[in-house]
């Protein structure tokens, strides 16, 4: 059974999208650096979608190694 990730509907992510400099927005951005759920969600996306998120959130983790 495939596990669904709720990251796309995350209230904190929406808060960041509306106001990146808010306390909750900054908390969400810090949180994604080590959140296992975000990492799994991120890695489940296509390369193009990951590129968009890396740019949108200045997110450089995790790196995919061959």
List pLDDT tens digits, range 11-43. 999 999 999 999 999 999 999 999 999 999 999
Q: Is residue 45 part of a domain?
A: yes
Q: Specify the number of domains making up the chain.
A: 1
> Which of 3-7, 28-32, 40-44, 50-54 has the least mean pLDDT?
3-7
Q: Is residue 20 part of a domain?
A: yes
The reported pTM is: 0.81
Q: Is residue 18 part of a domain?
A: yes
What is each CA distance from 2 to 5, 7, 9, 45, 50, in whole angstroms?
A: 10, 15, 18, 14, 20
Q: Is residue 4 part of a domain?
A: no
DSSP annotation of 3 reads P
- Cβ atoms within 10 Å of 42's Cβ, excluding its own: 21
What is the domain range of residue 13?
9-57
Q: Is residue 2 part of a domain?
A: no
Reported as a pLDDT band with limits 50, 70 and 90, residue 1 is: very low
Q: Residue 36 and residue 20: Cα distance in Å, rounded?
A: 21
């Amino acid at each position: 059974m495939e596990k669904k990730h709720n990251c796309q509907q995350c209230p904190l992510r929406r808060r960041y999208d509306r106001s990146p400099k808010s306390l909750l927005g900054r908390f969400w951005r810090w949180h994604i650096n080590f959140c296992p759920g975000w990492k799994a969600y991120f890695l489940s996306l296509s390369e193009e979608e990951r590129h968009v998120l890396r740019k949108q959130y200045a997110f450089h983790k995790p790196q995919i190694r061959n």
